Every structure is written in structure tokens, then in C-alpha cells.
A and B are shown apart, each in its own frame.
Chain A
Amino acid sequence: MKKLLKLGASALALTIAASAVHAEGKLSIYHWFEYMPQELLDKFAAEYDVEVTMDTFDSNEAMLTALKAGKMGSYDVTVPGDYMVEIMAGEGLLDTFEPSELSNFGNISPQWVDVSFDPGRHSSIPYQWGTTSFAVNRDVYSGDIQTLAIVFDPPAELQGKINVLDSQGEVIALASIYLGIPQCTSDRDQLRALNDLLQSAKPHWASFGSDTAKDVLVSGDAAVGMIWNGFSAKAREEGANIEYAFPKEGYVVWMDNVVLLKDAPNRDNALKFMNFLLEPENAAAITNYAQYTAGVEGVEGFLDESVKSAPELNPPAGGKGQFIMACSQDVQAVYDKIWTDLKK
């Protein structure tokens, strides 16, 4: 017992000692785990003499809940998805800055400056973006896959072999796109149609799962998997004969953004960090690591060949991508009901 206690105490001392490094300033990041190469953090810390600490979360909603439950004020920046930026701004969790405060602001790709969730970019900068649709195992199905019917009204040979993401937002957004109805519609007939579509599709689905979305495709447990493009590319590299679809009805576009939090203890360093991430070389480093796409101009020269040429990362010209919208309270209540009924 005593020995164990000693071991524990020394481990504690070790952890405390490890975090006591001297630096000019500090920066506290709330981020996804394994979404930022450590070298890049080290590079920033060395270049600006800033001590960087990072805490992690596993979903947009978990991050929001933790911030609202008391973690506000302890972080400078975090990395929410598109719709979450809008929600956080609405909740008053975000600070604003002027584009002139970031010397690299002009590097942001023009298409990502005036985005619906943060018009003119006063609280956020692009981090990485990608798409969400689905991938199909070409050993099982050789027909046309550029339609969302593969998921919501599947051909006989794919029925019962479909994995969908266990995420209300993505499933309902894709279903709305398939039906051709606007997201967050309050039209009752459209909402009923949405409900009916999901209810009729569910018997064809084998499973809901996000953590294993990639692995079920690689192992062959699922022949169709709703999935993010980067995951699909990885699944293909791991040997699955799958093809990622850009359905004709449209698909979901998502974008993670670095936002400046209200009550940031180190606002200046946060802005330095955001500016740092807008350097093409640094943005490219993240893309090479995470295999999504940067929202910054001029990264091409720094990208790995495999990332540049991956079909998953290059949507066709004229592809109809939509951001997931943050709905009003009334519509969200109906969505919740639809989702609960789907999984009751």
C-alpha cells in the first residue's frame, strides 16, 4: 500500500513539474484531440515565446456544454464547427476582432470570408473544411452512387448494409437535401415528409455509429457508410475498395473554425495564434496531418501529393454543398422529436 502511495505521489509531482515551464506569455487552447500536429504548436511556442496548453473535447456539443457549465474564462480559443460558431455567437460566448488585427487576414480564401455563420469573419477564421456524404463499397455495388437514394431509399443489394452517423444534425440535413426541402423548414408538410422518410429508411440501416464510421467500411461490416470525406480517404488508403460520393442532390459541407472566446485571458496571444494559422505553410501542415482541406490561399505548394490528389478532397465543379444550419428553437424541438421517434 505504502509503495503504491509513494508511486502515486511521485507521479503527481512529475505532472506538476512538467507543466511549470517559463515563458513570456500564455495561450490556452480548447481543441479536438489529434487535430493539430504537435510540431506546429511547438513552432508557435518557440516563435512567439508563448507557453501553450491544450485541453480537448470530443464533440461540438460537449464543448458547448462544458463551456456553459463553467469552463468559460479558462480558454482563449476553441475550434467549433460552422453551425456551432453561429450558436456560440448567439449565446454571447465569442469575442470579436477587426480584420485589421490579423495581418494574414487576406490569406483567407475569398469564398470563406463572407460565410453564413460569421459574415465578414469577425469572430472566427477558417481551420479546416470538408464534406459529409457517404461512401460505397464497389465490390458490393457497381451502379450509380451519385444520389442520396443510396442511403435513404437503397437498392435491394445494399439494404441492411448501411451505417449512418449517429448524429442528428448530419442525418437530418442530408435527408432534407434528399427531399429537396430547405433545412430548418417550419412547413409542417415538409417536416412530416422528413419524418416519414427517416422512418421508412431506418429498417434498411444496419447501424448508427460515428466512432467506427471508418472501420465498418474497412472491415466490410457495412457496404455503405455515411462518412466525412477525410475518413473516407483514410478508409480507401487502408485497403477498402470504396468510392466517396458527391450526390447530385447535394451534400453537407462543414468547416471547423478557430474562434476567439469572450473573457479570453490572453487575447493578444490568441490573435497571434490565429494569425499564425493563416500562414499558408502552417495551414498546409494541418491539412497534411488531418487530411481535410485548408481555407487559406496559397497552400498548394506545401501540400503532400496524396492529399492534393485525393478524390475525396476535391468536390466536382458545381457540386451542391450546404452548411448545416442552426435552426430556431421551434424547429429544433420538432427535429428532436423526429430523432427520438427514430431511435425509440
Chain B
Amino acid sequence: MAGGLPKSSESNTSTYAGLGALLMLPSWVMIGFFLVLPVGLMLVYSFLTKEFRGGVIWEFSLAAYDQFFFDRGLFGDDPPVIEWTYIKIFWRSIWQAGLATFFCLIIGFPTAWFIATRTGANKSIWLFLITIPYWVNLLIRTISMKFLIRDNGPLNEWLLSLGIISDPIHMINTNFAVQLGLFYSYLPFMVLPIYASVERYNFAFSEAAADLYASRLTTLRHIILPFVKPGIIAGCILVFVPSLGAFLAPDLLGGAKNFMIGSLIEEQFKGNAGNWPFGAAVSMILLSMVLVVLTFYARQQSKGGVR
């Protein structure tokens, strides 16, 4: 990491050395027992034969993965060709989640910065201000958002009355609305981690940089951003990864005309399809993709010495 900040020096006397496994124990027990075991079962399910209307038959089968990668026509007896349907759905979800993460960052970073530069108890007030809207259920918040951006909804009427636009902007059931749904579902998940790391930023560094005639932008890019990078990355993970599987808000606002990964998987367990092995297989493909990216990031991080 560039930036020339006093990084925690690679000390060989870590304060809690030797306690690592003990401190990790509660999380390993909770996640290991209540998530890894069940999800391991799902991994097994993805290689089993589907039982009609949900459930599995304990017979090895690659049918679920075959369905993902090969298209055999409407009736399943054409010669197999590459199946693009699911790849398209994956690509759409990744693209939407990526854009949502980007917008969350653009809006979330300044907000986090603003909060972190308040004094004393005001900080907590601002943090609460960001999270209070989330006391209201997602479905209700989304329906209200939908109401707001309708063609003849309050937002359009307001813009019309101000004379900013002459015709209502059509937002509902568009890609923009899908974005908005994801963005709106996860905004605090960007703001709070960034806040947590900006809050420790020492403005002496900015002063030093300013004394050396660094512009604001230079200071932001070379001093501040490297310092708050852990917060930004944490925020991006917290927005991007859940966005990949999200569908409720984007579907309600965007019209659900196209599957997202989340709704595709949902359909296998809660829809007419009732194809558990396929739902499990899609999840495992998604899981391994995210896992590869995160492991790569963790490697980079440990290489970079940020421990």
C-alpha cells in the first residue's frame, strides 16, 4: 500500500499471540456448526438426483450442473449446446450489484466522512440517523420508494412544479429502478464501515500534506484513501455480496421481468420448479465465485503487510 503512513509495524510480538484459536472459537463453533454443516449438505444435494416437487433422491447425479451449462432444447432431447441463459442471469446480477456498489460508494463515502468529522455525541446521532430508516421493513420501504418514483408520483410532480423537467421521467420498471432498489437496500452497509475507519484518521497528515502544497485531491487520493481502504473494502463486500443474491427490492421496483441470481434460486425452492439440486448447484457456483474473489483479496492483504 502506498501512502507513506506509519503502518502498524510488522511486530513479532502480537499482543494476543497464542490466543488466536481461542478467540476464534465462538465464531467457528457458530458458523461451523450452524452454517458449514447445513451448507455442506446442500453441496451434497447439488450432486444428487432431484425429487419431483422438491427434495432429493440419494443417487449421484450431475444433472443439476448439466442443466446450468448445457441447453438441450425445450423438450430436453436436442443435442447439447452451451446454455447462455444462466450465464446471462449471472452476468446481469454481477453487473447490477457492481453498479449498486459503485453508487453506494459515491454517496456513502462523503456521508461517512461527514459523520466522522462531527464532534462527540453528534457522531452517534448521525449514525443512528443513517440506520433508523431500516427499522421499517424492506418491503414497506420499497413499496414507498416505488410510490415516490411513479410517473405521476410526488418526485415527478415536485420536479415538474419546479420546472426542472417538462415531462415526467419514467423510472419505474426500468434498469434504473433495479439499481435504486439495490442501492436503497444496502446503503448503510457502505456508510458504517467507512465511518469506522475514517473516524481514526488523524488530520495532522492532511495538514502536513497541505504544508507541502498538496492539493485537496492529492491528499484525498494519496493519504486519506489508503488510510480508509479497509473500511471501503469492507463496505464494498457488505454491499456487493448480498446484492448478488438480492431480488426483492430490485424486483418490486424493476418489475421482475428478468431473473436475478437470487430469484432464480428462490424459484427452485419456493416456486413451481421445486428443483432442489439445481438450486443448490446454482448457489454453489455463486458461492465458489465469491469465495475465489474474497480469498484472492485476503491473500493480497496479507501479502501487503496490513495483516
Contact = CB atoms under 8 A, between A and B. Distances in A.
User: Are A and B direct contacts in the complex by CB distance below 8 Å?
Assistant: yes
Interface of A: 59, 61-62, 64-65, 68, 87, 90-91, 166-169, 188, 191-192, 195, 202, 205-209, 211-212, 215, 219-221, 329, 332-341, 343-344
B39 to A, nearest CB: 14
B275 interface: yes
A56 B257 CA distance: 28
Interface residues of B, number: 36
Interface of A is mostly: helix
Nearest to B271: A61
Given A192-B74, A340-B85, A166 B256 contact: yes
Contacts of A208: 251, 255-257
Contact of A219 (B85, B147, B269, B271): B147
A240 B154 CA distance: 19
B139 A335 contact: no
A211 B52 contact: no
Interface string B262-278: 01100101111111000
B252 to A, nearest CB: 7
Contacts of A333: 76
12 contacts: A61-B54, A61-B271, A61-B272, A87-B53, A168-B273, A188-B75, A209-B256, A221-B151, A329-B52, A337-B74, A339-B273, A343-B258
A207 B255 contact: yes
Interface in B53-77: 53-55, 74-76
B111 to A, nearest CB: 26
Given A221-B146, A339-B267, A340-B85, 11 more contacts: A61-B270, A91-B53, A188-B75, A208-B256, A209-B255, A211-B139, A212-B252, A332-B272, A334-B75, A343-B257, A344-B89
Interface of B: 52-55, 74-76, 85, 88-89, 139, 143, 146-147, 150-152, 172-173, 251-252, 255-259, 263-264, 267, 269-275
A215 B144 CA distance: 11
B256 A169 contact: no
Contacts of A202: 257
Given A87-B53, A329-B52, A339 B74 contact: no
Nearest to B253: A207
Given A59-B270, A332-B52, A207 B89 contact: no
A62 B255 contact: no
B50 to A, nearest CB: 9
Contact of B259 (A209, A220, A221, A344): A344
B270 A62 contact: yes
A221 B53 contact: no
Contacts of A211: 139, 252
A202 B255 CA distance: 12
Contacts of B146: 212, 221
Nearest to B172: A221
Nearest to B254: A207
Contacts of A167: 272
Contacts of B273: 168, 332, 336, 339
A220 B147 CA distance: 11
Contacts of A220: 152
B230 to A, nearest CB: 25
Contacts of B76: 333-334, 337
Nearest to B255: A207
Contacts of A62: 270
B251 to A, nearest CB: 7
Given A334-B74, A344-B85, A65 B54 contact: yes
Contacts of B252: 209, 211-212
Given A207-B173, A332-B52, A343-B257, A338 B74 contact: yes
